[in-house]
Amino acid sequence: MYKRDDIVDVDPRFDRPQSPAWKRAVLVALLAVLFWLAFHLRPGAKHQPKVTYATRYSEEFKFRPAASPVITERLKDGRVRLRGALPT
């Protein structure tokens, strides 16, 4: 086969030297850190949609239900949906 040095008609502009190994290692490490950050800092990845219901009966008035319980639901995209009377 041909060796690289035996080929004469290669334009020297297209025969660039290889980048140093430490630069390639730093680039791969930087990409790994960026991927880790992208998955680690995702919004809503840690929290499941949280649904909280208001208690219907208070301890003080056991037999009198709350006039309008407020139900707060956290949706998948991070928004909060309120059902019932809005809190003041």
CA dist 16 → 2, 8, 12, 13, 52 (Å): 19, 15, 8, 7, 63
pLDDT at 78: 73
Residue 72 backbone phi and psi in degrees, to 5: -110, 125
Q: Given its phi and psi angles, is residue 72 left (phi above 0), alpha (psi -120 to 50 degrees) or beta? A: beta
- Whether the CB-CB separation of 71 and 80 falls below 8 Å is answered with no
Q: Are 40 and 52 in contact (CB under 8 A)?
A: no
Domain locations along the chain:
4-40
Residues 28-53 have pLDDT tens digits of: 999 999 999 988 887 765 655 555 44
Q: pTM value?
A: 0.40
Q: What is the pLDDT of residues 55-69, one digit of tens each?
A: 555 565 555 555 656
Q: What is the reported pLDDT for 28?
A: 98
Q: What is the pLDDT of residue 36?
A: 93
